[in-house]
Chains A and B, each alone.
Chain A
């Protein structure tokens, strides 16, 4: 996945989601403001706002008038569910396509997946 190719506002949204998944930004906490994001990433506030709006629309953040944006109680659950749903299309399909181009057999592919998964600690 070439994240650099995604539009900037999506990258901003993804980074906030990653922090929620990791737990460094937890449910009920205040999310970064449009202005804070603009300063931190040196981007236009409108781009930052677009990223935040994306997260509000998907139910990850909620706007509290005059106070700011906050992480919703179900934020992590929502992100995980959506990413699980997108996992085959976003990650597996490009991998299989490349395996196809490289003439990898079914057994070779399964073996590789197992080995990488093990080295990354998936089975431990």
Chain B
């Protein structure tokens, strides 16, 4: 863990369509495994992924493998970016994309690409522009997983995929991680329920910065939530006032989120049930924070 991070940004400033998205963002992502980039719409996830991939000029310090990725062919040749905001050329069909990718990436796996094409039941002759939204997403996923890059960036890659194809995606991503444990996959996502079972590490973006991050299980362990009658929950909240993240009340009942591990919360009143937070609940609590 103490090695140089794969990606490191300090005081990063970036804009999207002339709007400033983040102003002085700091992030460090260690290599290996699947990393989730989580945050509300407009938090800058897409902009950040494009900056990592070298496709976006930026102010401030950004290094991937210790080098500035912007317009840097040496870095860009080791990164694949896919997502609905990273569209492929409209006139290309799958086979044309595969040919181009093969010449761009020495690690390209044509056999894998063809197998995935079948897994996603995707036509090989249709132009990108005439594919459905889900099919476009699928083609992006196939491209990203077949490129065999050391760093794979996926921007909400599941958009428009049906349930079955989403399962294919999650399964294939898991396979890829198992096959290439040293490779790094960064996924921007809103599908927190599904990705909770997938992610190794996370960064939660909030108000132009990284609010919290680290190994997912460690991050989640640091929080607890309690549900019960309003009076009892309020007493519990008062007893742990410095750690209260969120209190919601509804006609005599209340829910409390504490930035404390469940086991560290003693003297839970009778009738109050405590549990760990899900990733979705944590993202919501961060989003609702007043501080």
Measured CB to CB, the residues of A under 8 A from B are 3-4, 15-16, 18-25, 29-32, 36-37, 40
A23 to chain B, nearest CB (A): 7
B246 to chain A, nearest CB (A): 13
Asked if A19 and B273 make an inter-chain contact with CB atoms under 8 angstroms apart, the answer reads no
Asked if B229 and A21 make an inter-chain contact with CB atoms under 8 angstroms apart, the answer reads yes
Asked if B273 and A16 make an inter-chain contact with CB atoms under 8 angstroms apart, the answer reads no
Residues of B within 8 A of A (CB-CB), count: 15
Asked if A22 and B231 make an inter-chain contact with CB atoms under 8 angstroms apart, the answer reads yes
Asked if A16 and B253 make an inter-chain contact with CB atoms under 8 angstroms apart, the answer reads yes
Asked if B227 and A25 make an inter-chain contact with CB atoms under 8 angstroms apart, the answer reads no
Asked if B251 and A15 make an inter-chain contact with CB atoms under 8 angstroms apart, the answer reads no
Asked if A22 and B271 make an inter-chain contact with CB atoms under 8 angstroms apart, the answer reads yes
In the docked arrangement, what's the CA distance between A42 and B229, Å?
18
Pairs A-B, 3 closest by C-beta atoms = A25-B252, A19-B252, A24-B230
Asked if A15 and B253 make an inter-chain contact with CB atoms under 8 angstroms apart, the answer reads yes
- Considering only CB atoms, which chain B residue lies closest to A40 in the complex? B250
In the docked arrangement, what's the CA distance between A15 and B249, Å?
12
Other CB < 8 Å A-B pairs besides A18-B229, A25-B253, A40-B253, 10 of them?
A15-B229, A16-B253, A18-B253, A18-B271, A22-B229, A22-B232, A24-B230, A24-B253, A29-B251, A36-B250
Asked if B250 and A24 make an inter-chain contact with CB atoms under 8 angstroms apart, the answer reads no
In the docked arrangement, what's the CA distance between A96 and B218, Å?
38
B281 to chain A, nearest CB (A): 9
B228 touches A (CB below 8 Å) = yes
In the docked arrangement, what's the CA distance between A21 and B271, Å?
10
B164 touches A (CB below 8 Å) = no
CB-defined contacts of A36 to chain B, threshold 8 Å:
250-251
